[in-house]
Structure 1
Amino acid sequence: MYTPRGFEAVATPYGDALMRQDVLPLPALEPHPGNVAYLDTETTGLSGGAGTYVFAAAIARPIDCGLRLAQLFLPNPGMEPALLAALQDELAPAFGLATFNGGSFDLPVLRTRWVMARMNGELDHPRHVDLLTLVRSLYRHRMEQCNLRTVEERLLGYEREDPVSGALAPEVYFDYLQAGYSPNLESILEHNRLDVISLVHLHSLLMRRLQGADGAMDAADWLALGRHRFRRGARADGWRALRNAAGFSSGDAAATAGLWISRRLVRRGSIAGADRLLKRMEEHFSEDLRVALARARLLEWRRRDPHRALTVVEDAQRRFPEAAAELEPRRERLERKVLRRGGGRESFQTSIPD
Structure 2
Amino acid sequence: MGGLKSRLSRLKDLGSIAPSPPAPTPRTVGPPPGWEAGEPHEYWRLTETSFALDPADLERGYDPRLFAQAGGAASSSGRFEDLAFLDFETTGLSGGAGTIAFLAAIGWFEGQNLVVLNVFIDDFPGEPAFLARVLRNLAERGTVVTYNGASFDMPLLRTRCILNRIPCQDFSHIDALKTVRRFWSGSLSSCALKALESELLGYQRTDDIPGFLIPRIWLAYSAGGRGNGLEDPRALMDRVFAHNVRDIVSLARVFILMNKIAENPIRQAARARVRHSALATILIGLGRRSEGIALLEEAVVEGDSMAGLRLASLLRREGDWSSYEKILMSLVENDPRVSVAKAKYWEHRSLDYSAALACVERAATLLAAESGIIGGSHRISEALRWRLLEDLAKRKRRLEFKSKGFRA
TM-score grouping bracket, smaller chain normalisation: 0.7 to 0.9
Return the offset for 1:176: 1.0
Q: Which of the residues 78, 87, 112 maps onto 1:40?
A: 87
Judging changes above 3 Å, is the alpha-carbon distance between structure 1 residues 331 and 186 closer, same or farther for their aligned structure 2 residues? closer
Judging changes above 3 Å, is the alpha-carbon distance between structure 1 residues 239 and 118 closer, same or farther for their aligned structure 2 residues? farther
* CA deviation profile, 1:220-277 (whole Å, cap 9, x unmatched): 61212234567xxx2634674354123235455x322222232233334433332233
Q: Which of the residues 210, 232, 236 maps onto 2:262?
A: 210
Comparing 55-64 with 203-212, greater Cα deviation is found at 203-212
Judging changes above 3 Å, is the alpha-carbon distance between structure 1 residues 246 and 329 closer, same or farther for their aligned structure 2 residues? farther
* CA deviation profile, 1:156-185 (whole Å, cap 9, x unmatched): 111111353222111011101112563311
Q: Is residue 101 from structure 1 mapped to residue 148 from structure 2 by the alignment?
A: yes
What is the aligned partner in structure 2 of residue 257 from structure 1? 307
Q: Is residue 298 from structure 1 mapped to residue 349 from structure 2 by the alignment?
A: no
Return the offset for 1:104: 0.9
Judging changes above 3 Å, is the alpha-carbon distance between structure 1 residues 114 and 292 closer, same or farther for their aligned structure 2 residues? closer
What is the aligned partner in structure 1 of residue 326 from structure 2? 276
> 1:113 corresponds to which letter in structure 2?
R
Contact 1:242 1:258 in 2 (8 A): no
SS of the equivalent of 1:145 reads: coil
What is the aligned partner in structure 2 of residue 73 from structure 1? 120
Judging changes above 3 Å, is the alpha-carbon distance between structure 1 residues 73 and 238 closer, same or farther for their aligned structure 2 residues? farther
- Tell me the number of residue pairs that the alignment of Structure 1 and Structure 2 aligns: 317
Percent of aligned pairs with the same amino acid: 28
Return the offset for 1:78: 0.9
- CA distance in 2: counterparts of 1:247 and 1:65, whole angstroms: 36
Aligned ranges 1:151-230 → 2 under 5 Å? 151-180=196-225, 182-213=234-265, 215-218=267-270, 221-228=275-282
Q: Which of the residues 162, 170, 178 maps onto 1:133?
A: 178
Q: For structure 2, list consecutive stretches of 5 or more residues without a partner in the other structure.
A: 1-28, 63-79, 226-232, 367-391
TM-score (norm: length of structure 1): 0.76
Contact 1:17 1:79 in 2 (8 A): yes
Judging changes above 3 Å, is the alpha-carbon distance between structure 1 residues 276 and 56 closer, same or farther for their aligned structure 2 residues? same
TM-score (norm: length of structure 2): 0.66
Aligned ranges 1:329-348 → 2 under 5 Å? none
SS of the equivalent of 1:248 reads: helix
Q: For structure 1, list consecutive stretches of 5 or more residues without a partner in the other structure.
A: 338-354
SS of the equivalent of 1:41 reads: strand
Judging changes above 3 Å, is the alpha-carbon distance between structure 1 residues 313 and 39 closer, same or farther for their aligned structure 2 residues? closer
* CA deviation profile, 1:30-70 (whole Å, cap 9, x unmatched): 64451211111111111111111111101110111622211
Judging changes above 3 Å, is the alpha-carbon distance between structure 1 residues 116 and 272 closer, same or farther for their aligned structure 2 residues? same
* CA deviation profile, 1:116-173 (whole Å, cap 9, x unmatched): 12122334x32x2212222222112222222221111111111111353222111011
Judging changes above 3 Å, is the alpha-carbon distance between structure 1 residues 48 and 330 closer, same or farther for their aligned structure 2 residues? closer
Contact 2:135 2:168 in 1 (8 A): no
Return the offset for 1:21: 1.2
Q: Is residue 20 from structure 1 mapped to residue 45 from structure 2 by the alignment?
A: yes
Contact 2:91 2:218 in 1 (8 A): yes
Aligned ranges 1:81-100 → 2 under 5 Å? 81-100=128-147
What is the aligned partner in structure 2 of residue 347 from structure 1? none
